[in-house]
Amino acid sequence: MATVTYLEAIRQAIWEEMERDSRVFVMGEDVGVYGGAFKATEGFIHKFGKERVVDTPISEMAIASAAYGASLTGLRPVGEFQFMDFISSAHSQIVQILAKSNWRWGAPAPLVLRGPSGGGVSGGPFHSQNPEMFYVHTPGLKVIAPATARDAKGLMKSAIRDNNPVLFFEHKFLYRRVKEELPLKDYTVEIGKARVHREGRHLSVITYASMVYVAQEAAEILQKEGIELEILDLRTLLPLDRDAIRATVEKTNRAIVLHEDTKTGGIAGEIAAIINEEAFDSLDAPIVRITAMDAPVPFSPPLEKAFLPKVEDVVREARRLLKY
């Protein structure tokens, strides 16, 4: 076992897949000599050469388009966007072409588009967004948002080996803050399967990415009051693990859905609908959504703190639900 950061886990996954399969290559803005904006591809160009570590123009549309073309020739590209906020520049290519390739004419598109998302680092409204729901709404894609180093590595390997286009959202707040012991041998994590991060019996918090740790901190506070939160880490947002969502609600009879994305149109609404359709009889209280405000992400650290979901929000709502 070796202890590595969330970022290093992603770096290892891509490196190991490039060693394992000569069809895998990386491309993106400054991924070569510079080693990537957050150093996820540091040293790659010296190991694999410029033919497999390709610096691109500053154009997300070009990266997505070139990755798609390469995938059709049998290659398995991993494209990096410096910030996932700018995935919107490639929106048309992703939702109109990549997502529909297999459905329209049976052509697999084995590619990964990855990069940092999320707030908590005072990056402002153009470098702190959570744009995942635009793509969760798009059939034909797979959307991943891991919370742990172990899952980041295992899911990245699964994404690279998958024959469908995968969008991989890496929460930048976790890059160097989360560390974990990882197996030295090769492993993968199945796409589309949630994980129980913490066992509990009184209330379920359904969440993903950095909010897993907000829920964990809230659980530690509530544990002193005899309240045991169960935390379900979704890991994959498309496809959603409906069975795991139903199972945790049937176990605890109460649910908070927590995410960093804004409320309107966020995945919390979809999860609430799933619970309503498939586990309504298990509920002893209303479903609660805890999310960011419906606003652009503030640059000011105090304003960003007010904007993002907080531990005290989870603690307050959990106490309220248990008294319902």
Res 264: pLDDT: 97
Tell me: do 225 and 309 sit in the same domain.
yes
Could you tell me the CATH number of the domain that includes residue 122?
Answer: 3.40.50.970
Looking at 160, 182, 204, the residue that finishes a domain is 182
Query: 197 catalytic, yes or no?
Result: no
Number of H helices, E strands in the chain: 12, 14
pTM > 0.95 = yes
Could you tell me the CATH number of the domain that includes residue 283?
Answer: 3.40.50.920
Tell me: do 132 and 238 sit in the same domain.
no
Which residue among the candidates 46, 91, 127, 171 is catalytic per the annotation? 127
Tell me: do 208 and 169 sit in the same domain.
no
Q: Cβ(41)–Cβ(14) under 8 Å?
A: yes
Res 156: pLDDT: 98
Quick one: average pLDDT of 87-92? 97
Res 2: pLDDT: 79
pLDDT in tens, 94-135: 999 999 999 999 999 999 999 999 999 999 999 999 999 999
The answer to whether position 187 is within a domain reads no
Residue with tokens 């939160």: 229
What average pLDDT is seen over the chain? 97
The two three-digit tokens of residue 243, written as one number:
């069975």
What order do you get walking across the sheet with 166-171 strand by strand?
A: 53-55, 24-28, 76-80, 112-117, 166-171, 142-144, 236-238
Q: Name the band, by pLDDT with cuts 50, 70 and 90, for residue 165.
A: very high
Tell me: do 65 and 199 sit in the same domain.
no
**Angle separating helix axes 267-278 and 242-252, nearest 10 degrees:** 70
Q: 181 - beta bridge partners?
A: 3
pLDDT in tens, 268-308: 999 999 999 999 999 999 999 999 999 999 999 999 999 99
Q: Identify the domain containing residue 242 by its residue range.
A: 195-323
Quick one: average pLDDT of 42-65? 97
Res 1: pLDDT: 75
Of 127, 123, 147, 143, nearest to 135 by C-alpha is: 143
CA distance 38 to 255: 35
Percent of the chain with pLDDT over 90: 99
Number of domains composing the chain:
2
Tell me: do 83 and 120 sit in the same domain.
yes
CA distance 152 to 13: 8
pLDDT in tens, 68-84: 999 999 999 999 999 99
pLDDT in tens, 190-243: 999 999 999 999 999 999 999 999 999 999 999 999 999 999 999 999 999 999
Res 236: pLDDT: 98
Res 278: pLDDT: 97
Inform me whether the pLDDT recorded for 257 exceeds 80.
Answer: yes
CA distance 171 to 200: 25
Report the b/e string of 162-187 with b at 16+ CB within 10 A.
Answer: bebbbbbbbbbbbbeebebebeeeee
CA distance 307 to 304: 5
Q: Cβ(216)–Cβ(209) under 8 Å?
A: no
Tell me: do 163 and 232 sit in the same domain.
no
Tell me: do 52 and 162 sit in the same domain.
yes
CA distance 95 to 54: 24
The answer to whether position 87 is within a domain reads yes
